[in-house]
Amino acid sequence: MDKYLILGAFFIFSNNLVIKSEFNTDSVFNAANKAYINEDYNSAIQQYEEILSQGFESPELYYNLGNAYYKLTDYPKSILNYERALLHDPRDENIRFNLAKAQIYNVDQIDEIPEFVIKKWLRTAISWFRSDTWAIISLVSFLLCTAGFLVYFLTTKMKMRRSGFYAGILFFILSILTFFIASQSRKILVNSNGAIVMTPTVTVKGSPSNSSTDLFIIHEGTKVYILEELNDWFEIKLSDGKQGWLLKSDIEPI
């Protein structure tokens, strides 16, 4: 459960483009890890949250924060942070395992509607690597495509020309495909519409009004998907297809 915690902070902020010199991220992260090891979970949470407030994010950070909330039996916040960690690293089995452990405590156990086959394949492909890894694969494929066509145009030997042509076509297709996957992966990360219910019990309404019809009840820790926003309300959808409206204050976006 504490894999990332023990490894430390060496890789934690490698994806951040701006380093704020006035805030020693690694120092705070290591202090938070030490507090966690000493079972001072409230202090660990405070320091992890402080790092987040500075604009730094990583799957390791969200994972450790989820672990700290789990230790305090605050399962909704634990689930929220594990879900955020998965957005950044969808392949990590430790995150998935701990998320599943936290979800055991959910009152609502909701079945998912089976996904369309192509959408399922795309989601599986996206989960193989992070978005930046897919982008690198796309760039390398494009360079190999260019090299293949250079061989085709600059070589006089028929066998080399043929090999260069087919290699160019193959890597061109691969470059386009991986670029599309990279863009979709980034879109999921930036525009995630998932959210976690944070209020113990929520009555979902038929319209954005307290006086509207009660549709069904959900509980803290349940994952919902935001469809629309209107004033203080969100229209949400459950994984089983049910839809309705609830107050923004009842959920926390992933």
Rounded mean pLDDT for each run of 10 residues along the chain, 254 residues in total: 49 46 80 96 96 92 97 97 90 92 92 66 71 86 93 88 92 91 72 89 96 96 94 94 95 94
CA geometry: angle 25, 26, 30, nearest 5 deg: 120
H or E stretch covering 155:
none
Q: How far apart are CA 184 and CA 87, in angstroms?
A: 12
Domain 3-103, CATH among 3.40.50.620, 1.25.40.10, 1.10.357.10, 3.10.50.40: 1.25.40.10
Is the CB of residue 182 less than 8 Å from the CB of residue 134? yes
CA distance linking residue 228 with residue 19, whole number of Å: 35
pLDDT at 6: 42
Cβ–Cβ under 8 Å, residues 69 and 81: yes
pLDDT at residue number 80:
97
Question: pLDDT at position 182, please?
Answer: 81
What superfamily does domain 194-253 belong to in CATH? SH3 Domains (2.30.30.40)
Cross-strand pairs, 225: 194, 237
Alpha-carbon span 249 to 141, nearest angstrom: 46
User: What pLDDT is attached to residue 116?
Assistant: 63
Q: Which helix (H) or strand (E) holds 146?
A: helix 131-154
197 three-state secondary structure: strand
The pTM of the whole model exceeds 0.75: no
Ramachandran sector of residue 232 (left: φ over 0; alpha: ψ -120 to 50; beta: rest): alpha
